[in-house]
Amino acid sequence: MTLSIDTFPDHSLTVLVWIVLGSPFLAFVLQSFLGEKLPRKGDWLSLSCNAVSFAAALLLSLNVFSGSAEQVLRYSFTWVQAGSLHIQAGYYLDSLSLIMLVLVTFIALLVHLYSIGYMKGDPRYHRYWAYLSLFLAAMLGVVASGNLLVTYMCWELVGLASYLMIGFWLERDKAVQAGKKAFIINRIGDLGFLTGLMALFSLTGTFDIPALNQYMPGEGTGGPGWLVYLAAGGLALGAFAKSAQFPLHTWLPDAMEGPTSISALIHAATMVAAGVFLLARLHPLFPEEVLSVIAVLGTLTAFLAASVALVQYDIKKVLAWSTISQLGYMMLGIGTGSYQGAIFHLVTHAFFKCLLFLAAGFIIHQMHELKHRRGLDIDEQDMRHMGGLRKHLPLTFTVYTLGAAALVGLPFFSGFLSKEMILLEAFHWSTAKGGAWNLVPVAATFTALLTAWYIGRQWSLVFWGKPRTGQPAAGPGRVNDPGEFDPLAWPEGLKETGWSMKLPMILLALFTVFAWFSLNPFHAEDAPLVRALTVTAAEPALELPDPAPGGAARWIGGSLLVVSGLLVPLVLAGSCRKYAGPAPFTPPARQHPVAKFLYEGWYIDKIYNRIFTRPVMKLAEAARFSDRKIIDGLIHTLAGFGVGLSKFIAWTDKYLVDGFFRWMAARVRSAGDFFRGFQTGSVQQYFALAMLGLILLFLVTLFMI
């Protein structure tokens, strides 16, 4: 590290941070207004902004990690002030968020590069880049924000980017539906997050993350204890939705409808990890009971998702379920108090899962080309149509193998280090608690075997055996004649071309090996990454008693090593053998019930549909009915009553009140009839009468006076 802290006084660090955060946002704004008019539709703009952001993040973290390890960058200004509520927007960068910053910008940079090749020619190319920049800006906001409310805002924006990206091909109904589902399930989580926020504010009166982390539950007179649980539970719910954990995991497999580059960036490497990041960032806030629940649910998710991945045929679905499963491991890490392990796994997972997705995307890309050139009627994502691709896509094969090895956790690969760390901590944790808690790490270890099985299955189905492109697809009437062409003859020109796609894969593949993370291939305790996290982190809220003396720990570690060193490769080999052959389509009716159960993701989607979606729609219908019939009915009844009353009044008016007046009128009229007899019309008669009257008057005055 040649850069020393002196060369970067504080204010220039601030500038760097703003460059990191601001440049993707700038790209988003420019891209959404000008994207269509820019040359090459502005892909270079997003890419270069991202590169700038990455460079700044790298510089920043080099600077910080080379200086004092405790250095924390903070900056804040009052954003909103209403009553007692002062919201300080700003950033709070400790080693955790710095690592995340670098990770996110780096992976995003690679995916940007990859996307240039992958998305070429899409009619909404410029939108793609705008969304990508939006995502990056929001994600960096989540990572860097020092205020939980601001984190929440960015958190939702990340969800928006995810929604837009899943439904990117908006002519596809399934894609749009998947986007909606993702957004709504994330909203359920956000509901929890918001509740947690409100509870926290109620307890502490602040949203400042460092201040919140110093708040010790149960201490002082902060309020009733259940609020702490509410806050922790709510935040955990938010994290579970974002990180696709049981019971809110169902959106992630559907999210695979989006472009594969997006699946790699958002739905594998970065966004879904935001939940884990959030829990890690706020870990001092969580009471032990909540952490235990997180651990159990994480393990359950890991197991569930791995079991579902066993039977999927869609190449992306396998990876999606695998992502859920690996996120379950991270949650287990969080739950057992080893948040360093969780973040470590997050980092390694980000690299290898992103790699796997990018490679899968490349394969799909090639299959798609093949399908078009050959006029085949196949699903380009179905692994049953693949096979034997190692000969045609050697580079992809190599990087995929490396990624898979890391995912399985073979020794000498990055996944081993991080997974081992989590499992070790889990064993420590369960020995301390004893009893049925021991099931948790055992199940997690068993899940590691499942992982080996499904990824081995995928690897063999895709790369080994013979090409199955001519294989008839499922369903009647969709039979392709395999005799039409030689399946082994890969069309000319379909080679692994395009450095923009190859380079990211190669770079990511480099990061699957152990050496980048820890010099000791079997133990991660000394990994610089973990050390950095451990030093700056506040002590965990709950100090676990050292459960096992050194011997026991070594024993557990040793057996884990045996498991991953011997058992896992065995399983892997078994699965590879089994699936290297033909992969026939089985009609759904003939599927084994267990396989079907797994294939449908334990029927969780269907159950949700039945117990949530439909009742809500029914409730909505009921609300409409009540509005139309009951409330409006009441109003109409009232109106009818009013009209009836007025009719009655009208009747009385007509016959009683009006009757009286008409009687009066009749009397007046008859009096008038009498008097009109005098009106003869003869002028002379009138005159005579007038004279008569005059004389009468005269006489009266004469005699009265």
Partner 1 sequence: MLVILLLPKRFGNWFFLIALGVSLVQVVLALCIYGQFDPEYPESSGLSGGTRAGEFQFVEQLPWISMNLGSLGRLEISYFLGVDGLSAPLLILSAIVMAVAAASSREIKTNRKGYFALFLLMNAAIMGVFCALDFFLFYVFYELMLLPLYFLIGMWGGPKREYAAIKFFLYTLFGSVFMLLIIVGLYFSVQDPDTGAYTFNMLHMMDPANFTKEAVFSVHTTQQLLGVPARLLGFAVIFIAFAIKVPVVPLHTWLPDAHVEAPTPVSIVLAGILLKIGGYGILRICYGIFPDAGIYFSWVIGLIGVVSIIYGALNALAMSDLKRMIAYSSVSHMGFVLLGIASLTTEGVSGALMQMVSHGFLSAMLFFLAGVIYNRVHDRFIPNFRGLATHMPRYTAFVMIAFFASLGLPGFSAFVAEAFTLIGAFNSESLNGAVPRWMAIAGAVGILLSAAYFLWTLQRMFFGTPRFKGGTEWAGKLVDVNTGETLTLLPLAILTLLLGILPSLFFEMSNTTLTALVERTMNYFKF
Partner 2 sequence: MELIPLEHYLIISALLFCIGLYAVFSRRNAILVLIGVEFMLNAAILNLVAFGGHLFAVFAIVLAAATVAVALAIIMNVYSHYKTIDPEKIKDLKY
Nearer to partner 1 (CB atom), residue 129 or residue 427: 129
Cβ 311 to partner 1 shortest distance, Å:
29
Nearer to partner 1 (CB atom), residue 80 or residue 594: 80
Cβ 227 to partner 1 shortest distance, Å:
8
Q: Taking CB within 5 to 8 Å according to partner kind, which of partner 2, partner 1, none is near residue 688?
A: partner 2
Cβ 672 to partner 2 shortest distance, Å:
10
Q: Angle formed by the axes of helices 95-118 and 274-281, to 10°? A: 170
Ramachandran assignment for 244, one of left (phi > 0), alpha (psi -120 to 50 degrees), beta (any other)? left
Nearer to partner 2 (CB atom), residue 630 or residue 688: 688
Nearer to partner 2 (CB atom), residue 551 or residue 681: 681
Nearer to partner 2 (CB atom), residue 82 or residue 683: 683
Nearer to partner 2 (CB atom), residue 539 or residue 673: 673
Q: Taking CB within 5 to 8 Å according to partner kind, which of partner 2, partner 1, none is near residue 493?
A: none
Q: Taking CB within 5 to 8 Å according to partner kind, which of partner 2, partner 1, none is near residue 704?
A: none
**Which residues are 314's β-sheet partners?**
382
Cβ 445 to partner 1 shortest distance, Å:
37
Cβ 371 to partner 1 shortest distance, Å:
21
Cβ 167 to partner 1 shortest distance, Å:
7
Cβ-contact 322, 407 below 8 angstroms: yes
What 3-state class would DSSP assign to 331? Answer: helix
Cβ 678 to partner 2 shortest distance, Å:
9
Cβ 688 to partner 2 shortest distance, Å:
6
Nearer to partner 2 (CB atom), residue 218 or residue 677: 677
Q: Taking CB within 5 to 8 Å according to partner kind, which of partner 2, partner 1, none is near residue 593?
A: none
Cβ 692 to partner 2 shortest distance, Å:
11
Of 367, 365, 363, the closest CA to residue 377 belongs to 367
Residue 615 tokens, joined: 């009742």
- The label of the residue with tokens 């009757």 reads 659
Helices then strands (H, E): number in the chain? Answer: 27, 2
Of 200, 195, 198, 230, the closest CA to residue 213 belongs to 200
Q: Taking CB within 5 to 8 Å according to partner kind, which of partner 1, partner 2, none is near residue 617?
A: partner 1
Cβ-contact 64, 98 below 8 angstroms: yes
Q: Taking CB within 5 to 8 Å according to partner kind, which of partner 2, partner 1, none is near residue 609?
A: none
Nearer to partner 1 (CB atom), residue 152 or residue 352: 152
Q: Is 157 exposed, middle or buried (0-12, 13-18, 19+ CB in 10 A)?
A: middle
Could you tell me the sign of the dihedral formed by the alpha carbons of 608, 609, 610, 613, in that order? positive
Q: Taking CB within 5 to 8 Å according to partner kind, which of partner 2, partner 1, none is near residue 154?
A: partner 1
Q: Taking CB within 5 to 8 Å according to partner kind, which of partner 1, partner 2, none is near residue 567?
A: none
Q: Taking CB within 5 to 8 Å according to partner kind, which of partner 1, partner 2, none is near residue 82?
A: partner 1
Cβ 674 to partner 2 shortest distance, Å:
11
| CB-based contacts of 150-154 (< 8 A; 24+ apart in sequence) | 150/79, 150/87, 150/89, 150/207, 151/209, 151/278, 152/190, 152/193, 152/194, 152/197
Nearer to partner 2 (CB atom), residue 573 or residue 688: 688
Nearer to partner 2 (CB atom), residue 84 or residue 684: 684
Cβ-contact 376, 370 below 8 angstroms: yes
Of 461, 695, 464, the closest CA to residue 585 belongs to 461
What is d(CA 268, CA 514) in angstroms, rounded to the nearest whole number? 20
Cβ 454 to partner 1 shortest distance, Å:
32
In the chain the first and final C-alpha atoms are separated, in Å, by 140
Ramachandran angles phi, psi of 497, nearest 5°? -110, 170
Q: Taking CB within 5 to 8 Å according to partner kind, which of partner 2, partner 1, none is near residue 681?
A: partner 2
Cβ 686 to partner 2 shortest distance, Å:
8
Q: Taking CB within 5 to 8 Å according to partner kind, which of partner 1, partner 2, none is near residue 623?
A: partner 1
CA angle at residue 609 from 604 to 611, to 5 degrees? 90
What is d(CA 518, CA 499) in angstroms, rounded to the nearest whole number? 30
Nearer to partner 1 (CB atom), residue 177 or residue 591: 177
Q: Taking CB within 5 to 8 Å according to partner kind, which of partner 2, partner 1, none is near residue 691?
A: partner 2
Residue 522 tokens, joined: 């079997």
Of 190, 187, 217, the closest CA to residue 203 belongs to 217
Cβ 642 to partner 2 shortest distance, Å:
47
CB atoms within 10 A of CB 628: 10
Residues in the site for partner 1, rule: CB under 8 A? 78-85, 149, 152-154, 156-157, 160, 163, 167, 170-171, 173, 176-177, 179-180, 183-184, 187-188, 190-191, 194-195, 197-199, 201-202, 223, 616-617, 619-624, 627, 631-632, 635, 639
Cβ 200 to partner 1 shortest distance, Å:
10
Alpha helices in 205-266 (DSSP H): 209-214, 225-242, 251-254, 260-264
Nearer to partner 2 (CB atom), residue 595 or residue 689: 689
Q: Taking CB within 5 to 8 Å according to partner kind, which of partner 2, partner 1, none is near residue 683?
A: partner 2
Nearer to partner 1 (CB atom), residue 204 or residue 325: 204
Q: Taking CB within 5 to 8 Å according to partner kind, which of partner 2, partner 1, none is near residue 680?
A: partner 2
Residues with Cβ within 8 Å of 568's Cβ and at least 6 positions away in sequence, in order, are 408, 409, 410, 448, 449, 452
Cβ-contact 261, 349 below 8 angstroms: no
Nearer to partner 1 (CB atom), residue 229 or residue 412: 229
Nearer to partner 2 (CB atom), residue 678 or residue 703: 678
Cβ-contact 598, 310 below 8 angstroms: yes
What 3-state class would DSSP assign to 679? Answer: coil
Residues in the site for partner 2, rule: CB under 8 A? 676, 679-684, 687-688, 691
| Residue 220, CB-side half-sphere exposure with 13 Å CA sphere | 9
Residue 487 tokens, joined: 């399946």
What is d(CA 57, CA 140) in angstroms, rounded to the nearest whole number? 10
Cβ 683 to partner 2 shortest distance, Å:
5
Q: Taking CB within 5 to 8 Å according to partner kind, which of partner 2, partner 1, none is near residue 58?
A: none
